[in-house]
Structure 1
């Protein structure tokens, strides 16, 4: 198998994981979880999103969370910003990185951002220089990269349209999202192999949701094609508020466990990560979407019985 020696995981649980939760998670718990994720060895954490509180009430405390977390050295703390108002708020908080997000399809972008694809791109062209001149890194995300809940299949040309503009803006890190879990391993392999060939200087990242339990299989296919960066969410939480039947992200602990079993380095302490998963379990009112939190770590063996007990 053609596999990398090391993979970078971007933890998006505090933003994408929490944004769909109806029951408000106390701000102090969000801060505690972000700090614990950093201590577990995650070097890239998306802390929150600077969106209008009416759009995503769960993230109304973005400023407080960002200003009160422990900023550990060597950890990149990222904010998501969808528009100019968000950028103005984000810049004041001095994150290490700002992630811009839009959809590659017209209908989902209008549902999510109330803009056409072209309107979002033109707004980003104004925003990117503002971010870079402050010495803050900028990345660009693309929702619905493998399928749209309103339009169905997405052509690679739709991805390339946005990627071309991102590259022209000076964005070097680009994330491609399977927002509603339509992707299959072959589709992922073929798509990202093409994109890596067409855009060799772009640092591609995949953001995969687990609607149909294919996220880990899709990650394996992506790694074989050459991708080494992935978003993941603690507890498998998440989902887009503007995508019908949206399910959670691939669980960070499930991904770390799979990679560890394959001998691929992540720098993440799995035991510490599972402790964070238990913290998350206590603040959300439903079971997490994490196989490891349900089943436990592999190779934890039980004591064999002394002899077989026959019944009847």
Structure 2
């Protein structure tokens, strides 16, 4: 049976996209409940200045809590070398840095052009290496940009190679803006794998902005992707498409993978129960997903037993 890693990114990508600040104890309850449901990796926060993202001010405390959960891989996002040093000090197992394939997006998002970002990646790689922490680079806006539009695939490949040379251990292709389609996913996964090595491209970070999240995930699986990022309840929304869900919904993704006979290790019933923590702590935030409303199929237990 093929084992697929569902990496929960809601405590970082979901929470940083909303105005409300989730109480620290609610974050801890969320993370503990997902781990108890069988989720093996959680991106618990990001090491950015609290003045910029007050939602992430307690990340070091959350890392310390999550590290106490047996079998959980605790990862965090860092915007730069300073954040990487804080993450390593806090005790994360892994860090990732976003590297916008659209240079305009990079300049607006982190105020760095591509050469400056590659220099930053090299420094973060050094910090991670010395700290014994896994280091991944998220190739964001890889499928399109809300500022530039289409991003040339050859540009994505070139920048991925440059990041690998700068010290990236692993990559994810990120559909930051919800522009990807399945054919594009297949094409770009093949090209980047061919350039950096199949062992270095393992992950897709997908958004469901236009309803193509699961279709894109399936296309990635068919090309050998083994890790899929998702967010419980699709938390966070999409700032570029008001009313649309944001990240791929963890509950829907787990239903699909388990039903297909792929091994996630996640108990869907326990996972669905975690939504109550979010609903209580963030009563004004919409939660997305079809599975919570419709429930599993009547023969779901038979499907996952095959």
Q: TM-score, normalised by structure 1?
A: 0.89
The Cα of 1:70 is off from its aligned counterpart by 5.3
Matched, 1:202 2:200: yes
1:33 corresponds to which residue? 30
Shift of 1:8: 1.2
Q: CA RMSD in A?
A: 1.9
Contact 1:35–1:70 under 8 Å retained in 2? no
Asked if the contact 2:119/2:166 (under 8 Å) is kept, the reply is: no
Could you give the per-residue CA deviations for residues 188-221 of structure 1, whole angstroms, max 9, x where no partner exists? 1111122223332413210000001100011111
Q: Deviations over 1:74-129 (max 9, x none)?
A: 22100110112212211210101111112111111112111112211111111211
Q: Specify the alignment match of 2:81 in structure 1.
A: 84
1:46–1:254 distance in 2 versus 1, CA, 3 Å: same
Aligned match of 2:124 in 107, 127, 130? 127
Q: Conserved in 2, the CA contact under 8 Å of 1:9 and 1:230?
A: yes
Q: State which of 233, 244, 251 in structure 2 corresponds to 1:253.
A: 251
SS in 1 for 2:228: strand
* Runs of 4+ deviating beyond 3 Å: 243-247
Alignment of 1:261-280 (within 5 A): 261-280=259-278
- Runs of 5+ in structure 1 lacking a partner? 302-312
Q: Among 277, 280, 283, which residue is 1:282 paired with? A: 280
Would you say the 8 A contact 1:235–1:277 is kept in 2?
yes
Distance 1:145 1:53 in 2: 28
Structure 2 CA distance, aligned partners of 1:279 and 1:250?
19
Paired residue for 2:233?
A: 235
Task: Give CA-to-partner distance per residue, 1:18-54, whole Å, 9 cap, x none.
Answer: 1112121111101111111111111111000001223
8 Å CA contact 2:138, 2:174 repeated in 1: yes
The alpha carbon displacement at 1:256 in A equals: 0.5
The answer to whether the 8 A contact 1:186-1:221 is kept is yes
- In 2, the alpha carbon distance for the partners of 1:95 and 1:78 equals 6
Aligned residue pair count:
297
Distance (Å, rounded) in 2 between the aligned partners of 1:85 and 1:294: 43
Question: What is the rounded CA distance, in whole Å, between the counterparts of 2:136 and 2:224 in structure 1?
Answer: 19
Aligned partners of 1:112, 1:27: CA distance in 2, in Å?
Answer: 26
CA distance in 2: counterparts of 1:19 and 1:232, whole angstroms:
14
Instruction: Give the counterpart of 1:213 among 211, 214, 223.
Output: 211
Match of 2:141 in 1: 144
* Other-structure match for 2:111: 114
Name the counterpart of 1:23: 20
Q: TM-score, normalised by structure 2?
A: 0.91
Q: In the aligned structure 2, how far is the partner of 1:109 from the partner of 1:144?
A: 9
CA distance in 1, matches of 2:139, 2:116: 14
1:285-296 aligned at under 5 Å gives the runs: 285-296=284-295
Assess if the C-alpha contact under 8 Å between 2:6 and 2:227 holds in 1.
yes
Question: Highest Rg: 1 or 2?
Answer: 1
